[in-house]
Amino acid sequence: MQPQKTAAAKVSQLVLEAFMQQQQQQQQEQQQQQEQQQQQQQQTGRKLLPEAWDRLRAAAALASPLSVNTLLEEAASNINRKRQIQHSLKERAAPATAAGQQQQQQQQQQEQQQQQGQQQQPQQEQEQEQQQKEQQQQEPVQGSD
């Protein structure tokens, strides 16, 4: 019985070793496939790298402390320009509004003068009538002397 046990043990050991070898081969194949995929990705990455590096360099140049200061200075100068433009627009608008106010005042004065002139006409007519009446009253008195 012992030789059967030893034979069975050997067979089981051989089966176990074969199984282990098969697993190792599968693992090695999987590793090789993963390595190939990584190499392919790296190769495609290498093809894109020069363009990506150029973009990164440009972005880094823009983000450098010197360019940040430059950007801040540009922003400040833009703000100052906007203020100057607004100020000049206000200055231009001020004479225009002043001219508009002068026109309104002139129109109002003209209207007032016209109204006064219309009011003065009846007064002048009344004064003329009174003067005529006085003259008429004085003429008979002068004629009887």
38-72 pLDDT, tens digit each: 887 777 656 667 777 778 778 877 776 666 677 77
108-133 pLDDT, tens digit each: 888 887 777 666 666 777 788 888 88
**Most confident of the ranges 63-67, 93-97, 100-104:** 100-104
Q: From residue 85, how far is each of 1, 9, 79 by CA, in Å?
A: 110, 99, 10
Instruction: Write the burial class of residue 48 (CB in 10 Å: 0-12 exposed, 13-18 middle, 19+ buried).
Output: exposed
Q: Is the pTM of this model over 0.75?
A: no
Q: With contact defined as beta carbons under 8 Å apart, do 61 and 67 qualify?
A: yes
Q: Which value, to the nearest 10 degrees, does the dihedral of the CA atoms of residues 128, 129, 133, 135 take?
A: 20
